[in-house]
């Protein structure tokens, strides 16, 4: 049966910096349209600036659904997106990372800073440990993640990871390819549940 994202939650990691280049904003706009066209809810860090604020604004403008997750201390200094009405407030950044993963059908990492990188690598680590089984898509727009992808490949070359771990994520060159990559990537949850059912017999 063909997979779809109608009614699903899709998490997007991305920059909160207000000084990102226009082509990254354009890419976020394209992803916003694809999310809305797919009927998916954008789940994001709740911020009002940078790619975070831009993609949320675009999804709302196009009539889509947005869910923000933010620590209270960031809301207290008015970093929350003013147009987002569905907000989950947590106490710590660690709780936000966990909430961004909970109940989502996939993760998309747009270009970003150290926070985006931390979120992405934690998701990859959890998938390696079997704790997160949904697709992870790295949007390598303008070669932004070239160095990271080379580093991950080196970890395999020098046997810090196994070759099969290179399949924990999918890299695409443009935001417009991200939703297609999620739909094309096998969902490991069904396989894990099936294996558990067999073992339980």
CATH classification at residue 31: 3.40.50.450
Instruction: Please tell me the predicted confidence (pLDDT) of residue 76.
Output: 87
Residue 175 lies in a domain: yes
Instruction: Please tell me the predicted confidence (pLDDT) of residue 189.
Output: 62
| pLDDT above 50: residue 196 | no
Backbone angles phi, psi at 169, to 5 degrees: -135, 165
Give per-residue pLDDT as tens, 175-188.
Answer: 999 999 999 998 77
Spatial neighbors of 147 by CB under 8 A, at least 6 apart, are: none
Mean pLDDT of the chain: 92
Give per-residue pLDDT as tens, 120-156.
Answer: 999 999 999 999 999 999 999 999 999 999 999 999 9
Residue 3 lies in a domain: no
Instruction: Please tell me the predicted confidence (pLDDT) of residue 187.
Output: 74
Residue 1 lies in a domain: no
Domain count, the chain: 1
Residue 4 lies in a domain: no
Residue 192 lies in a domain: yes
Q: Rounded distance, CA 22 to CA 159, Å?
A: 39
Give the range of the structural domain holding residue 106, as residue numbers without chain letter. Answer: 9-200
């Amino acid at each position: 049966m063909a997979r779809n994202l109608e009614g699903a939650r899709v998490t997007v990691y991305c920059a909160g910096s207000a000084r990102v280049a226009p082509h990254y904003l354009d890419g976020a706009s394209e992803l916003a349209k694809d999310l809305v066209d797919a009927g998916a809810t954008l789940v994001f860090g709740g911020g009002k600036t940078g790619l975070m604020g831009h993609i949320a604004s675009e999804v709302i403008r196009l009539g889509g659904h947005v869910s923000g997750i933010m620590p209270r201390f960031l809301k207290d200094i008015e970093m929350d997106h003013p147009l987002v009405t569905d907000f989950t407030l947590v106490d710590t950044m660690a709780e936000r990372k966990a909430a961004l993963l909970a109940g989502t059908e996939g993760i998309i990492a747009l270009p970003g800073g150290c926070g985006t990188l931390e979120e992405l690598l934690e998701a990859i680590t959890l998938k390696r440990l079997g704790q997160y089984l949904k697709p992870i898509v790295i949007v390598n727009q303008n070669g932004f993640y070239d160095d990271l992808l080379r580093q991950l490949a080196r970890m395999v070359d020098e046997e810090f990871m196994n070759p099969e771990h290179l399949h924990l994520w999918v890299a695409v060159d443009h935001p417009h390819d991200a939703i297609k990559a999620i739909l094309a990537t096998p969902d490991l949850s069904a396989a894990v549940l099936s294996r558990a059912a067999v073992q339980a017999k």
